[in-house]
Amino acid sequence: MKLVRYGAFGQEKPGLVDSAGKLRDLSAHVSDLAGAALKSASLAKLKALSPESLPLVEGSPRIGACVGDVRNFIAVGLNFADHAAETGAPIPAEPILFNKAPNCIVGPNDDVIIPKNSKKTDWEVELAIVIGDGGSYIDEKDAMAAIAGFCVCNDVSEREFQTERGGQWAKGKGCPTFGPLGPWLVTPDEIADVQNLAMWLEVDGERVQNGSTKTMIFGAAYLVHYISQFMQLDPGDVITTGTPPGVGLGFKPPRFLKGGETVALGIEGLGTQKQLFKPYAG
């Protein structure tokens, strides 16, 4: 299934994209694509529905983040071998984890606000995992069964805040609007091999990132297993899994967003995003 949330910010309704690409309303069957609604039993009930029996959504509503009420937004750093190489960083022996603020999540096509005093706002196309059943101490062989689906994430980052202001990476990762998610939450049965998906990102029409999930150092199943050793993963938690090369930090000289740029990105089978970056206006 390709699941979506649509409507005004904070008032999104659940929906489904049918095989013809039409948006169908799921409101009669689930209140939101959030929390317990993402457990496997709930998703099985939605999958049993005939999409053609669901009401068509008229017009072109705003598409919201594909998962609601996210309580834990976990990110993995330097998780692509080719991205680690462009930054000059060694291959991590274990996944590098940090948190993005859940309230930075916005829709896939919403504007992104460059924060006050930013000098180095950057882009990152990433594969995100949305947890379904979740749990603690999940075996790697059981990890895919704990996943509700996958989506596109732009892990927007302020590099000066992240690396030059002391402390943790979280400083440059959780600014308002720094977490576009969607357009779709795609269930695992729709994806033949999550570790072989093409990824791309463009700035003002220039292709700057071209990569694939096949160069991930730690794959999706391992990350769910690994993270669950340190914290409980609950339904609706999001894990964004790292970026391929081509980020602004990796250019020589580095390139960063100042405001006015349009960033478009996508992952094979998971849809596309497009954001206008705007300078902070108070």
242 located within any domain: yes
174 located within any domain: yes
118 located within any domain: yes
Instruction: Clarify whether residues 94 and 8 are in a common domain.
Output: no
Asked whether residue 83 carries a pLDDT value surpassing 80, the answer given is no
The mean pLDDT value of the chain amounts to 96
Instruction: Clarify whether residues 175 and 80 are in a common domain.
Output: yes
Q: Provide the pLDDT for residue 132.
A: 98
Give me the number of domains the chain comprises. 2
Instruction: Clarify whether residues 78 and 194 are in a common domain.
Output: yes
Instruction: Clarify whether residues 100 and 132 are in a common domain.
Output: yes
Instruction: Clarify whether residues 81 and 41 are in a common domain.
Output: no
Give, in order, the Cα–Cα distances in Å from 216 to each of 76, 140, 197: 11, 16, 11
Asked whether residue 163 carries a pLDDT value surpassing 90, the answer given is no
Distance (Å, whole) CA 62 – CA 35? 22
Distance (Å, whole) CA 169 – CA 178? 13
For residues 72 and 38, the answer to whether their CB atoms sit within 8 Å is no
Instruction: Clarify whether residues 127 and 258 are in a common domain.
Output: yes
Tens digits of residue pLDDT in 242-254: 999 999 999 999 9
Instruction: Clarify whether residues 35 and 109 are in a common domain.
Output: no
Distance (Å, whole) CA 83 – CA 159? 15
Instruction: Clarify whether residues 126 and 208 are in a common domain.
Output: yes
59 located within any domain: no
Instruction: Clarify whether residues 167 and 213 are in a common domain.
Output: yes
63 located within any domain: no
CB within 8 Å of 254: residues ≥ 6 apart: 120, 159, 248
Residues in the chain: 282
Instruction: Clarify whether residues 197 and 234 are in a common domain.
Output: yes
Q: Containing domain of residue 90, as a range?
A: 73-279
106 located within any domain: yes
Q: Provide the pLDDT for residue 25.
A: 98
- Helix, strand, coil abundance in the chain, percent, nearest 5: 20, 35, 45
Tokens linked to 161: 């805040």
Distance (Å, whole) CA 33 – CA 27? 10
The CATH number of residue 88's host domain is 3.90.850.10
Tens digits of residue pLDDT in 86-142: 777 788 899 999 999 999 999 999 999 999 999 999 999 999 999 999 999 999 999
Instruction: Clarify whether residues 222 and 123 are in a common domain.
Output: yes
Q: Provide the pLDDT for residue 88.
A: 76
Section 161-167 average pLDDT: 85
Percent of the chain with pLDDT over 70: 100
Work out the widest C-alpha separation in the chain, in whole angstroms. Answer: 54
Q: Provide the pLDDT for residue 90.
A: 84
Instruction: Clarify whether residues 47 and 89 are in a common domain.
Output: no
58 located within any domain: no
238 located within any domain: yes
